[in-house]
Amino acid sequence: MSTPLLDRPSALPRECVPALVDLVVALADNKHALGLRYGEWCSSGPTIESGVAATAMAQDELGHARVLYGMLEELPGAPRRSEHEWAAADARIVAFLDASFPTWPHLIVANVLLDQALALVLRTALESHYLPLRQRARKIIEEEEYHAIHGQGWLRALAAEGEPVRARLTGLVRDAWPDVLCWFGPDGGGALACLVDAGILQEAGDRVRDRFLGVIGPLFRDTGVEAPVRVRGTRWAAAEPLPWASWDAQARRVRR
């Protein structure tokens, strides 16, 4: 028997609402912050074209945040959020977005890792039984394809500049790695498990993380950028334990 579609917040299983609120807040806040960070490079990129690309991605991310903030207005218990009233001190963002990106490689690592991790989580909602989330996820994912192409292309170009640049990229990947890999949740999804059980997300935890590693693992191998990921047989996996003891499931951030 198929699970019925949920067309409004009151149709949601009550026990799933807090987890959904926390996820949507964190998705929206990270996208808003990422849009601001991209926007800071609109006129500072290494080429005219890179500035144009940063501008386009900034507009996309801020637009995605706006769409998700609109969803929060309908969910019971959701905190007040809007593109005009967003306060960084109250934001549920990963540490890599706490400060402005001082270099273009910072932006590219955020593009390759965080931008694509958020997109992959939203992909798990493309067939969501909760229609407001499904509709928003589909709109957002349509605009995310270019971001992946941009990040991978620039990572290859930067890595080709030589070992000092690759070493710098490796350090930045290390900085962002714990938050990004934990974003998908622990083994069975952790706080997201109830959303999977209710059909609000298709999957969470290791299955989504493995898919992410299967994309970025070959990219890092081919570019010579070192990352804590290894291929084991036909599967890419994290090469080091993740810091679950420091993971804040509500804020979706590793506490340092």
Q: What's the chain's average pLDDT?
A: 93
Question: Residues of the chain with pLDDT > 70: what percent?
Answer: 96
Look up the pTM and report it. Answer: 0.94
Residue 94 in domain: no
- pLDDT grade, residue 88 (50/70/90)? low
CA distance 123 to 126: 5
Selected residue with higher pLDDT from 142 and 131 = 131
3-state secondary structure the chain: CCCCCECCHHHCCHHHHHHHHHHHHHHHHHHHHHHHHHHCCCCCCCCHHHHHHHHHHHHHHHHHHHHHHHHHCCCCCCCCCCCCCCCHHHCCCCHHHCCCCCCHHHHHHHHHHHHHHHHHHHHCCCCCCEHHHHHHHHHHHHCCHHHHHHHHHHHHHHHCCCHHHHHHHHHHHHHHHHHHHHCCCCCCCHHHHHHHHCCCCCCCCHHHHHHHHHHHHHHHHHHCCCCCEEEECCEEEECCCCCHHHEECCCCEECC
Residue 3 in domain: no
Q: Is 23 helix (H, G, I), strand (E, B) or coil?
A: helix
Residue 201 in domain: yes
Residue 128 in domain: yes
Per DSSP, 113 falls in state: I
- Domain residues for the domain of 75 are 13-88+99-254
- The total of structural domains in the chain comes to 1
Q: Give first-to-last CA distance, the chain, whole Å.
A: 45
Per-residue confidence (pLDDT) for residue 234, from 0 to 100: 85
Residue 4 in domain: no
Per-residue confidence (pLDDT) for residue 245, from 0 to 100: 95
Q: Which of 165, 183, 66, 56 has the alpha carbon at shortest distance from 114? A: 183
CA distance 118 to 29: 11
Is residue 2 scored above 60 in pLDDT?
Answer: no
- pLDDT grade, residue 100 (50/70/90)? very high
Per-residue confidence (pLDDT) for residue 1, from 0 to 100: 44
Residue 233 in domain: yes
Residue 224 in domain: yes
38-51 pLDDT per residue, tens:
999 999 989 999 99
In CATH, what number is assigned to the domain containing residue 180?
Answer: 1.20.1260.10
Residue 209 in domain: yes
Is residue 87 scored above 70 in pLDDT?
Answer: no
